[in-house]
Structure 1
Amino acid sequence: MVTFKLCAAALLLVLVSACSGIGSLGSVNPKPQTPHNLCGIYAQYGPWQRSANASQQAWNIHSSISMAFIQHESGFNATARPPRKRILGVFPGDHLSSAYGYPQAINGTWTLYKQLTGYNSAKRTNFHDAIDFVGWYNARSVRLNNIDRNDAYHLYLAYHEGNGGFAKKSYLAKPWLLTVAKNVSAQASRYRSQLQFCTPVS
């Protein structure tokens, strides 16, 4: 009888947790229906265009670059995380890194962003905060590594490797990453071309 009660209690806890999760996920915007079409994204989520414009104005990094970074990093999934490690090849363990949310920012870098900007309530699941972070990080890369602010290719390498890793040219040992950076840069160029046809927001 005791065992049955314990099992029933455990099952109830699981169900409550699951329902709570559903509620929290329900408050997150679904991924855009046309993730490779910037005008389609902005038509679906007008506030995102305002946030992208605000980030560009604040950090002088073109919004097309920031949007391309988010598209690649999370696919515009607000709660994206890296895959989990596998224990004994079967059981799920910890996530491969602390990267989370739209920008896939790791804990330490996100904490630094909040400290240096004063945005203490910023969340990686909030699109406005996320795209501001991407602009902020790229602006740091411009300053710390003398990268041209319109050079999406090298900005992405610095975003992925960290500015310290970029300075040491750690990316040269990762041919696959160079391909990814080229793809992100190409997406940024497409977004920039599309932007001229998007309906402006007031």
Structure 2
Amino acid sequence: MTEAAVRALSFSLLLAVLVALTGCATSPPRDPDNICAIFREKDDWYDAAIATQKKWGVPVQVPFAILYQESGFRQDAKPPRDYLLWIIPWGRVSSAYGYAQAKDETWDDYVRENSRWFAHRDDFNDAIDFMGWYITKAQRLNGVAKSDAYGQYLNYHEGWGGYRAGTYRKKAWLINVSRKVQARAERYRVQYAGCKNDLDRGFWSIF
């Protein structure tokens, strides 16, 4: 094999590895119903979850239950398209984007208040830090405990002002979704309690 051919093959293999690694880093977890499985597959997410917990005092299970509901852990998640005359695509129903489905104006507030000028909604570390900020403000503005996944999701969906005005009370479907978020958060809490020590010991503890 010629030197040029070897270089071409090496480049192709390197490119394939980079693509594979990128796919692993950005694809949703294989078992999103088990928070221990999520953390074992994506240890950088665990690091981000612990950093958010330490910074904002937010229990690990609450932002993860909300992120699951909002995007299914997809980094480029977007709301459905709106249509003109039911036929012609006409933008999106909102500006929500990314893991947390944060809207433009809310994300801008987060960036400004925390001087996170280079944060991105499709970066998991930034998205979960945003969740910590939002949950903390829901507690401060509306008195909703950081561990209350039900009340926190209502705040997240309706906004702090909407929650305060009680807009969710006429939305039976939203109340049902919030109960699902609460149930998932409780499931995640129990699961996490069973694997936290292993996760804290690091990668080699699983062998």
Which TM-score bucket, shorter chain as reference?
Answer: 0.7 to 0.9
Q: Shift in Å at residue 61 of structure 1?
A: 1.1
Provide the C-alpha distance between the structure 1 equivalents of 2:145 and 2:100, rounded to a whole number of angstroms: 21
Show the counterpart of 2:8: none
Provide the C-alpha distance between the structure 2 equivalents of 1:132 and 1:152, rounded to a whole number of angstroms: 16
- 1:59 paired to 2:62: no
SS in 1 for 2:91: strand
Provide the C-alpha distance between the structure 1 equivalents of 2:186 and 2:180, rounded to a whole number of angstroms: 10
Give the one of 9, 12, 30 matched to 1:33: 30
- 1:109 paired to 2:106: yes
Show the counterpart of 1:175: 172
Counterparts of residues 128-139 of structure 1 (less than 5 Å): 128-139=125-136
- Higher share in helix: 2
Provide the C-alpha distance between the structure 2 equivalents of 1:81 and 1:158, rounded to a whole number of angstroms: 20
Instruction: Say which is worse superposed, 86-95 or 117-126, in terms of deviation.
Output: 86-95
CA deviation digits over 1:70-121, x for unaligned, max 9?
A: 0110000000000001122122111000000000000000000000011111
Q: Unaligned stretches of 5+ in structure 2?
A: 1-18, 203-207
Output the amino acid matched with 1:49: Y
CA 1:27–1:100 in 2, change beyond 3 Å: closer, same or farther?
farther
Show the counterpart of 1:200: 199
Q: How many residues align?
A: 180
Provide the C-alpha distance between the structure 2 equivalents of 1:116 and 1:33, rounded to a whole number of angstroms: 34
SS in 1 for 2:134: helix
TM-score by length of 2: 0.83
Contact 1:28 1:78 in 2 (8 A): no
Provide the C-alpha distance between the structure 2 equivalents of 1:71 and 1:127, rounded to a whole number of angstroms: 12
Provide the C-alpha distance between the structure 1 equivalents of 2:152 and 2:126, rounded to a whole number of angstroms: 19
Output the amino acid matched with 1:200: L
Q: Shift in Å at residue 28 of structure 1?
A: 5.6
Identity %: 40
Contact 1:37 1:191 in 2 (8 A): yes
Q: Shift in Å at residue 58 of structure 1?
A: 0.7
Provide the C-alpha distance between the structure 2 equivalents of 1:105 and 1:140, rounded to a whole number of angstroms: 15
Give the one of 74, 80, 97 matched to 1:77: 74
| Structure 1 stretches of 4+ moved >6 Å | none
Backbone CA RMSD of aligned residues: 1.7
Q: Unaligned stretches of 5+ in structure 1?
A: 1-21
Instruction: Say which is worse superposed, 192-201 or 78-87, in terms of deviation.
Output: 192-201
Output the amino acid matched with 1:197: G
Output the amino acid matched with 1:180: V
TM-score by length of 1: 0.85
SS in 1 for 2:117: coil
SS in 2 for 1:85: strand
SS in 2 for 1:125: coil
Contact 1:99 1:105 in 2 (8 A): yes
